[in-house]
Amino acid sequence: MFSALPALVGRRRFSDLSESEVLALAISSEEDDARTYDDYAAALRTEYPDTANVFEGMAAQERGHAANLKRDFERRFGPHVPLVRRESIAGYYSRRPAWVICNLGIDRIRQEVGRMEDESASFYLEAQKKATDPGTRALLDSLYKVELQHEEIAGSLAEKYLPVDRKQEEDEKARRQFVLTWVQPGLAGLMDGSVSTLAPIFATAFATQNSHTTLLVGLAAAVGAGISMGFTEAVHDDGVISGRGSPLKRGIASGVMTAVGGLGHALPYLIPDFWTATAIAIAVVFVELWAIAFIQNRYMETPFLRSVFQVVLGGALVLAAGIFIGGS
């Protein structure tokens, strides 16, 4: 779990990059985004030719951005541009594979483009703080403004760069931020707490058939997992470049929901009668798993039946493993 720490995986923090490395990162990011837009255009060409044309235009614009950045780099640092990829920077935003997004439909692609441009704008805003040259700073500022313009039109890609209503844009951006800051880490925590603690709690329950002992093990597992998940979420990404928001908020969401997920099926063992407590705990487990499936469907747009199959079946298998190990 702690392998996400940059020091352990060799990833550098954005704050540690030199000005030349920031420009090199911007160049590779623009080139990657251009290829992503080309992939979207190719995938949508048959069914959505107008939208595909827009993506091709956006890809050409991203390549133009990369060319401008290269010229500025060569002006200041020479012809060799070091390869600095986003995968090597801790907390830097990532891009989902185009083939994954394309399988989710045109509306999901439009949402993804809005996220891409929002993250790019955040990057250029932070990159300006690294710039010491007036010309470089002006270039980064112009790219920041262009990315903001892209964000405004991302909701209506089928039409040629027509701006959307500002309130709708703000509402969508606020919803996106809420999902990134609270829902995603909270859901990850709830899944971890609800599923990973099943085996030790129910193994202890059926091995000892003692409510008090099971309660102590459950409390230790839930609280320990909550601290671990909350700390990891808070320290592995400062949220500046990825746009995921405050690391403190994300850490709280992940840690609290992890603890809640584990406590849900530990607290029934406050009941002295072992079998009554166990029956209630098992019922709580399935309520938790269905709640996870609902949240995935509501906020993460995962098809409900697929979510139910993945979460409920997986949780049931872990529950069965704990009962089998404890009863053997």
Tell me the domain boundaries of the chain.
8-164, 174-327
Look at residue 26 in the predicted model and tell me its pLDDT: 93
* CA angle 196–202–207, rounded 5-degree value: 135
Residue 295 identity: I
How far is Cα 250 from Cα 236, in angstroms, rounded to an integer? 11
CA distance readout (Å), 186 to 90, 130, 230, 239, 265 = 21, 33, 10, 16, 18
- Decide if 317 contacts 304 (C-beta within 8 A): no
- Decide if 257 contacts 192 (C-beta within 8 A): no
Report the C-alpha dihedral over residues 199, 282, 315, 5, rounded to 10 degrees.
-60
φ and ψ at residue 172, rounded to 5 degrees: -65, -40
DSSP labels, 67-129: HHHHHHHHHHH-S------GGGEET------HHHHHTT-HHHHHHHHHHHHHHHHHHHHHHGG
How far is Cα 213 from Cα 135, in angstroms, rounded to an integer? 67
Over its length of 328 residues, how does the chain's per-residue pLDDT go in tens digits? 333 444 445 788 888 899 999 999 999 999 999 999 998 888 878 777 777 888 888 898 899 999 999 999 999 999 999 999 888 888 777 787 887 777 666 667 777 887 888 888 889 988 998 899 999 999 999 998 888 776 555 544 445 543 445 446 545 666 777 888 888 898 888 988 888 898 899 999 999 999 999 999 999 999 999 999 999 888 877 777 777 778 888 899 999 999 999 999 999 999 999 999 999 999 998 888 888 888 888 887 778 888 778 787 888 888 888 888 888 7
How far is Cα 305 from Cα 178, in angstroms, rounded to an integer? 25
How far is Cα 106 from Cα 47, in angstroms, rounded to an integer? 10
Cα 129 from chain centre: 25
Look at residue 106 in the predicted model and tell me its pLDDT: 66
Tokens, residue 136: 């470089």
DSSP labels, 26-37: HHHHHHHHHHHH
Tokens, residue 72: 């500025």
Tokens, residue 78: 């020479």
Helices 274-299, 247-264: crossing angle, 10 deg rounding: 140
**Percent of the chain as helix, strand, coil, to the nearest 5:** 80, 0, 20
Closest CA to 219 of 268, 254, 186: 268
How far is Cα 124 from Cα 131, in angstroms, rounded to an integer? 10
Give the H/E segment covering residue 13: strand 12-13
- Decide if 86 contacts 94 (C-beta within 8 A): yes
Tokens, residue 313: 């079946």
Closest CA to 303 of 105, 50, 126: 105
* CA angle 222–225–229, rounded 5-degree value: 140
Look at residue 212 in the predicted model and tell me its pLDDT: 94
What is the number of other CB atoms lying within 10 angstroms of the CB of residue 272?
10
Per-residue H/E/C for 62-73:
HHHHHHHHHHHH
This prediction has a pTM of: 0.54
Tokens, residue 75: 């002006």
The answer regarding whether domain 8-164 maps to CATH 3.40.50.10800 reads no
